């Protein structure tokens, strides 16, 4: 069981909308906004050079962009990342949430009811091709969470987590806490709030809870 500190807000804040699900996993695992540099150094240090190619490609691309743009701050951030490294917090929990949100998105967008409507131009073209009744086509599923959505609620995501209850002393009494994906939370509501907050930071749409 891990109590852990509260998640590093800096790591979970300001996630670029073009960042992919896999890149967000790296951000969480390595615990840094500068995860390509931190991850590269960590993998080399632990003898996992066979895994560095994706991080190296990302780092080189970012370096080229910073050089062309004259972004001196990018180089300062890399120096700082080398000095301080990463600080993963609740990594297992948030990595699982990423997995569940990505899966929920693919399931939702794959349902015919969620297929997008054709534009007028597309409908005209479909008629010419012999499909006069075609009205919808499958959504193009992107590799990024930003701007996407699911018909699952935060409670649905919560229900899919690996969790169990424990009892902790509070003064002279005992209170029930929940261990979710290896991390202790005060109660179910705190976990659901964490899921909702994380989805918001990803700019990802969860279905709203029905009010009782």
DSSP, residue by residue, 1-40: -B--PPP-HHHHSS--TT--HHHHHHHHHHTSTTHHHHHH
pLDDT at site 2: 52
CA-closest candidate to residue 93, choices 25, 176, 177, 14: 25
Buried-exposed string 27-54: b where 16+ CB fall within 10 A, e elsewhere: bbbbbbbbbbbbbbbbbeeeeeeeebee
Q: Looking at the predicted structure, is the pLDDT value of residue 9 above 80?
A: no
**Assigned token pair, 105:** 């998105």
pLDDT per residue as tens digits for the range 118-135: 889 988 988 888 888 888
Residues, the chain? 212
- Average model confidence (pLDDT) for the chain? 90
Contacts of 196 (CB under 8 A, 6+ apart): 154, 206
Question: How far apart, in whole angstroms, are the C-alpha atoms of residue 22 and residue 102?
Answer: 10
pLDDT per residue as tens digits for the range 133-164: 888 888 777 889 999 999 999 999 999 999 99
pLDDT per residue as tens digits for the range 19-53: 999 999 999 999 999 999 999 999 999 999 999 99
pTM to 2 decimal places: 0.82
**Assigned token pair, 130:** 């012999």
pLDDT at site 1: 53
pLDDT at site 140: 73
A 10 A CB-CB count for 147 gives 11
pLDDT at site 5: 43
pLDDT at site 53: 95
pLDDT at site 115: 84
**Beta strand 183-185 pairing with 173-180:** antiparallel
Question: How far apart, in whole angstroms, are the C-alpha atoms of residue 208 and residue 192?
Answer: 12
Considering only residues 192 and 127, tell me which one the structure prediction assigns the higher pLDDT: 192
Q: Looking at the predicted structure, is the pLDDT value of residue 3 above 60?
A: no
């Amino acid at each position: 069981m891990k109590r852990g500190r509260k998640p590093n807000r800096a790591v979970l804040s300001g996630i670029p909308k073009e960042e992919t699900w896999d890149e967000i996993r790296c951000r969480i695992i390595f615990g840094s906004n500068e995860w390509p540099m931190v991850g590269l150094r960590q993998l080399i240090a632990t003898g996992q050079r066979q895994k560095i190619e994706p991080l190296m490609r990302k780092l080189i691309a970012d370096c080229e962009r910073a050089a062309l743009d004259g972004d001196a701050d990018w180089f300062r951030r890399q120096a700082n990342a080398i000095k301080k490294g990463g600080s993963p917090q609740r990594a297992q929990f948030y990595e699982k949430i990423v997995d569940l949100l990505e899966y929920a998105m693919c399931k939702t967008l794959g349902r015919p009811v969620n297929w997008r409507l054709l534009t007028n131009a597309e409908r005209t073209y479909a008629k010419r091709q012999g499909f006069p009744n075609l009205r919808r086509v499958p959504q193009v599923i992107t590799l990024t969470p930003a701007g996407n959505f699911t018909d699952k609620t935060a409670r649905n995501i919560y229900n899919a987590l690996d969790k169990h209850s424990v009892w902790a002393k509070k003064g002279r009494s005992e209170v029930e806490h929940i261990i979710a994906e290896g991390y202790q939370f005060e109660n179910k509501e705190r976990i659901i709030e964490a899921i909702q907050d994380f989805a918001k930071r990803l700019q990802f749409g969860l279905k709203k809870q029905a009010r009782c």
